[in-house]
Amino acid sequence: MKKQFAVIGLGRFGGSICESLSKQGMEVLAIDTNEDKVNRFANVATHAVVADSTDENTLKSLGIRNFDHVIVAIGDNIQSSILTTLMLVEQGVKHITVKAQNDYHEKVLNKIGAHKVVHPERDMGVRIAHNIVSKNVLDY
Ligand code: ATP
């Protein structure tokens, strides 16, 4: 059976995750409060819905606990990101990956039970720096 993913927040980060998972043949539910963004992903994701992930009943009615992996890609609104993550943990979602905006955000997300916290800009900076150094080493 295909793995089922839900992506909450369709900014550049969440949007590219959603697109990439779909291209790999996964089932993806795309969620955002912004109708325009949801419409943009209607043909990319398996399902795309306008919904506020900070609303517990909304998450329940989407059956969020049945998804294999939920990605929280809400950026600027740290409060919404934390609240959403907390409810996903409480509802027993098996794998929760969350995008952190800064170190404090990351700390809180780890404390409340996020399974993986990513910091895309920082993580990518580290990868690129390693890549540059290993390339230079090979060049000599
Ligand atoms: P990126 O850098 O990935 O473009 P960003 O850091 O600018 O993203 P935001 O634009 O703040 O992140 O948030 C990403 C998306 O999350 C937005 O499309 C926003 O509408 C959506 N979003 C914010 N709060 C909620 C919420 N409570 N429920 C669902 N979606 C939300």
pLDDT tens sequence across 37-64: 999 999 999 999 999 999 999 999 999 9
HEC string for 51-110: CCCCCHHHHHHCCHHHCCEEEECCCCCHHHHHHHHHHHHHCCCCCEEEECCCHHHHHHHH
ipTM of the complex: 0.92
Contacts 24+ apart (CB under 8 A), 129-133: none
- Which residues form the pocket of ligand 1, taking CB atoms under 6 Å from any ligand atom? 8-14, 31-34, 37, 52-54, 73-77, 80
Distance CA 55, CA 4 (A): 21
Ligand 1: distance of its center to the CA of 65 in Å? 21
Residues paired with 30 in a beta bridge: 7, 48
pLDDT tens sequence across 63-117: 999 999 999 999 889 999 999 999 999 999 999 999 999 999 999 999 999 999 9
Residue type, 4: Q
The torsion angles phi and psi of 122, rounded to 5 degrees, stand at -70, -45
Q: What is the value of pTM for the model shown? A: 0.93
Three-class SS state of 9: coil
